[in-house]
Amino acid sequence: MQSFWNTLEKPILIQAPMDDVTDTVFRQIIARCGKPDVFFTEFTNVEGMCSRGKDKVGKRIVFTPVERPIVAQIWGLDPLKFTETAKLIKRMGFDGIDINMGCPEKSVVKRGSCGAIIDNPKLAKEIILAVRKGAVGLPISVKTRIGVKNIQTEKWIKFLLEMDLDAITIHGRTVAEMSDVPNHWDEIGKAVRLRDSMKSKTLIIGNGDIGQERRCRKI
């Protein structure tokens, strides 16, 4: 199956996933006033999607045709639940699945999920393979950061590139840096050069400094 990521004309403008912000209503409004090339859902927990409260959690991945191409972003810990959620996302008609391996919020990092997965490549691999099993043919991407406590771009991004993903979004800060320092765009450049040297076809998307810009404008 042709990945929609390969059909987009560069430069690609993407609506970043934002918890409690980028729901279907928000996306429909944005689609009307300035549609980006790709939409993302809010991050959605796979354990929640496989629980008795799944109807409530599932509201996070509702979409309408005007929001396409749209990628469902998921997060969690249990590979089996990643597979089950990926199957559902495929059935719902999403264009892609994104795995969150970058959120720095203490509540999720403490559990070993999202940004904490950067220090746990064994789990990262299990999760990616689990999503691939459920997604059968849907493009799979990862959104991540450049390290947990220290910058580890080469080691971590090399590992992700070896997983043969369709796309990797790199937020150019470590988990510990939250959004408190300027984005390390040089590290994102390093990842692109690494990708090219590995002759990988994975699309690399740069992310960060949106909040930074907002703070600058306030001053």
Residues in 128-167 that interact with ligand FMN by CB under 6 A: 143
Between 132 and 184, CB nearer to ligand FMN? 184
Residue 23 interacting with ligand FMN (CB under 6 A): no
Bridge-based pairing state of the strands 203-207 and 96-101: unpaired
CA–CA separation, 166 vs 1, rounded Å? 12
Is 103 a residue of the active site? yes
Member of 24, 100, 152, 153 binding ligand FMN (CB under 6 A)? 100
Q: In the complex, what is the shortest distance from the CB of residue 44 to ligand FMN, in angstroms, rounded to a whole number?
A: 8
Q: In the complex, what is the shortest distance from the CB of residue 140 to ligand FMN, in angstroms, rounded to a whole number?
A: 15
Q: Mask 176-205, x = binds ligand FMN (CB under 6 A)?
A: ---x---x----------------------
Residue 43 interacting with ligand FMN (CB under 6 A): yes
Between 3 and 141, CB nearer to ligand FMN? 141
Q: Which residues bind ligand FMN (CB under 6 A)?
A: 16-19, 21, 42-43, 73, 100, 102-103, 143, 171, 179, 183, 207-212
